[in-house]
Amino acid sequence: MDYRDVLEEIELKGGVAVDPAVRFMIEACRKMSLSGQAQESLEVAARYMRSETSGDGLEAARVRCWQSIEGHDADLSDKRLATTRAVICTLYPRDRQDDLFETLDAFGEFALAAGVSSADLVEGLRRAFAV
């Protein structure tokens, strides 16, 4: 099974929950070689998960990441861009569940482009969602 297959399996078995999804994405991002801005923003996402920063802090980190790749946000052959896009996926508030499946789907694309192996992504998804 590949990443998308496992993601669809999770969706069919009851859906994708926010906290495990974000923990999975943060863990996967930690396997990437991140720029200073992306690393700082990932730490904001981790602090938000622990309720140690506000939604405003999360939004500010997200804005800084988008600004750091402005004008180059579609070229996933650029690993710096791919890693930054992956980190951006971790920087949305917990109450935003409406497009979580799509976020995880896009995250997989960014993570693969950033050099995370498909096997690592599948293992991380299975661990995060106990599948």
Q: How far apart are CA 80 and CA 62, in angstroms?
A: 15
The predicted pLDDT at position 74 comes to 75
Written as tens digits, the pLDDT of the chain (131 aa) is 899 999 999 999 888 888 999 999 999 999 999 999 999 999 999 999 999 999 999 999 999 999 998 877 677 889 999 999 999 999 988 776 568 899 999 999 999 999 999 999 999 999 999 87
> Are 114 and 65 within 8 A, CB to CB?
no
Every domain of the chain and the residues it spans: 3-129
Structure-token pair, residue 59:
């939004």
Q: What is the pTM of this model?
A: 0.92
Cα–Cα distance list, 129 to 7, 25, 28 (Å): 10, 12, 14
Residue 50's identity, in one-letter code, is R
Q: From the CA atom positions of the chain, what is the Rg in Å?
A: 14
Residue whose tokens read 């974000």: 22
- The whole-angstrom separation of Cα 106 and Cα 127 is 19
